[in-house]
Amino acid sequence: MKIQDLVAQIKKKQSFLCVGLDTDLDKIPQHLLKEEDPIFEFNKAIIDATQEFCVAYKPNIAFYEVYGLSGWKSLEKTITYLNANYPEQFTIADAKRGDIGNTSTRYAKAFFEELNFDSITIAPYMGKDSVEPFLAFKEKHTILLALTSNTGAFDFQTKIVEEQELYKRVLKTSKAYENAGNLMYVVGATKAEYLKGIREIVPESFLLVPGIGAQGGNLQEVCKYGMTKDIGLLINSSRGIIYASTDTKFAFSAREKAKQLQQQMHLELKQLD
């Protein structure tokens, strides 16, 4: 998907919400466990119930890998369902990959070609030749971890390297990569106060912002410092939406949560007009 198409969807739906499909068999409603593929049935119900209020879905791959072959099948069915029924939705494989060049190319083919995701999350630690194989794919997007939402972010990302915080160096250095136009960045909602400085380096790039809801990040704070004239934000919520309730009304509860967030986003977007 092209960025212009994503921006058009955001404006049309008045939402820059990404729903995280971190689907856990221990947390989904128990009545689904009798289905042949409970993970897919859960995802399908959540997608159908929330799609009106969001513009993106982000399955975190760990939640599928943990179930081996059957988990991969559930993931494949989920992305196929999304692409077939809601092709306007931007899809993110939250896989946090990155390796030497030829290996990165295999990861890119797996998620961009075999599974047909629009984007993938990538760790920048191995540098240019580990990231560029992902950037080589046209109309696909590489979402580089910049400043993450967890406390461990302070172990390395905020440390000074050549007179600058490492996450700022990641932003600056990656801007010079080949096909850098395909880059987006992850910035945790719990680090909203850093967004002003981040926008000085990447004024227009789209940011994937996880960490509202369960992790305590604040949507208004993120918008205040992170929003651009073309919005430039995808705000993710996983547990806060998909486990809003765990009874037979789970899909309706998820829809209500997504709707609440969409309404808050609508208010933020009105300020851009």
Ligand X SMILES: O=C(O)c1cc(=O)[nH]c(=O)n1[C@@H]1O[C@H](COP(=O)(O)O)[C@@H](O)[C@H]1O
Which residues, 6+ apart, have CB-to-CB distance to 45 below 8 Å?
A: 250, 251
- Pull the structure tokens for residue 150: 């967890």
Out of 168, 240, 250, 251, point to the residue binding ligand X (CB under 6 A): 240
Cα dihedral value 201, 93, 12, 264, nearest 10: -70
Measuring CA to CA, which residue among 226, 190, 183 is closest to residue 210?
A: 190
CA 29 to chain centre: 24
Number of DSSP helices (H) and strands (E) in the chain, helices first: 12, 10
Out of 46, 75, 94, 183, point to the residue binding ligand X (CB under 6 A): 94
Complex with ligand X: residue 163 or 193, whichever CB lies closer:
193
Distance CA 32, CA 28 (A): 7
Out of 1, 214, 221, 225, point to the residue binding ligand X (CB under 6 A): 214
Complex with ligand X: residue 49 or 186, whichever CB lies closer:
186
Per-residue x/- marks for ligand X, 246-265, CB under 6 A?
A: --------------------
Is position 210 an interface residue for ligand X (rule: CB under 6 A)? yes
Count how many residues are written for the chain: 273
Is position 215 an interface residue for ligand X (rule: CB under 6 A)? yes
Is position 211 an interface residue for ligand X (rule: CB under 6 A)? yes
172 catalytic per annotation: no
Out of 43, 174, 238, 262, point to the residue binding ligand X (CB under 6 A): 238
Binding span for ligand X by CB under 6 A among 66-74, 98-106, 110-118, 235-243: 235-243
Q: What's the min distance (Å) between Cβ of 37 and ligand X?
A: 21
Check residue 110 and report its DSSP letter: I
* Residue 155 buriedness (CB in 10 A; 0-12 / 13-18 / 19+): exposed
Is position 186 an interface residue for ligand X (rule: CB under 6 A)? yes
Is position 22 an interface residue for ligand X (rule: CB under 6 A)? yes
- Pull the structure tokens for residue 61: 């791959």
Catalytic residue among 96, 128, 224, 259: 96
Out of 71, 98, 133, 188, point to the residue binding ligand X (CB under 6 A): 188
Each residue of 65-80: b (16+ CB within 10 Å) or e?
A: eeeeeebeebbebbbe
Measuring CA to CA, which residue among 204, 213, 211 is closest to residue 231?
A: 204
Q: What's the min distance (Å) between Cβ of 117 and ligand X?
A: 13
Window 133-172: residues binding ligand X (CB under 6 A): 148-149
Out of 29, 213, 226, 232, point to the residue binding ligand X (CB under 6 A): 213
Query: What are the start-end ranges of the H helices in 120-194?
Result: 128-135, 153-156, 166-174
Binding span for ligand X by CB under 6 A among 70-78, 103-111, 162-170, 207-215: 207-215
Residues forming the active site: 96
Give the residues lining the site for ligand X (CB under 6 A): 20, 22, 60, 94, 121, 148-149, 186, 188, 210-211, 213-215, 236-240
